[in-house]
Amino acid sequence: MNPEFPSDASPSADHRWFNDHVLPHEPMLRAWLRSRFPRGVELDDLVQEAFTRVLRARANGAAMHSPKAFLFATARNLALDVLRHRQVSGQDTLVPFESLDVLDGSDGIPETVDRHEKLERLTLAIQSLPERCREVMTLRKVYGLSQKDIAARLGISECTVSAQLTIGVRKCTESFARDRREAGLR
């Protein structure tokens, strides 16, 4: 029996679970880590280690009611460990520790829930965009690439990038307006 997978799950079941419940949160996790730890940690290493620990915890039978919350908490703890290690070893941290809470201390629970709901709606709106438009919006809004960098990366013109961003913003705005109408808000 492979110790990496629980006896009731096959590697392909864990692969599907990871793709369905963890991997979709990677762009949001990267954006959140970048906002909290701008230069304090190596993002690629941190994200990969967080993925590994989430999978290991699942393989060891940990109950994960919210894989997204578990992923974010794991990544936060890993980043804090890196910063603590640097502080102990005499390296300066670039981010004050008090700014590293998962939840902003100034927001109460209702505000935090509202912010997360808005982020989820934005994620759904971006995911509903046509493929090219979704790629451009994600590279711009999540990864913070310039229009020139996006054009080079996707092999399209900067005018096309600009047009796709305009379409994406318009469609996301329409989606938010539709959500508000359906909720009975003005």
pLDDT digits 0-9 by tens, 43-90: 888 999 999 998 888 888 877 788 888 898 888 888 888 877 776 765
Give pLDDT tens digits for 74-85. Answer: 888 888 888 777
Q: What's the predicted TM-score (pTM) here?
A: 0.45
**108-186, CATH topology level:** Arc Repressor Mutant, subunit A (1.10.10)
The 10s digit of each residue's pLDDT in 97-149 is 555 554 444 556 677 777 777 778 888 888 889 999 999 988 888 788 899 99
Cβ-based burial of 41 (10 A; exposed 0-12, middle 13-18, buried ≥19): buried
Domain boundaries, the chain: 1-95, 108-186
Name residue 108's amino acid.
G
The answer to whether 61 touches 8, Cβ cutoff 8 Å, is no
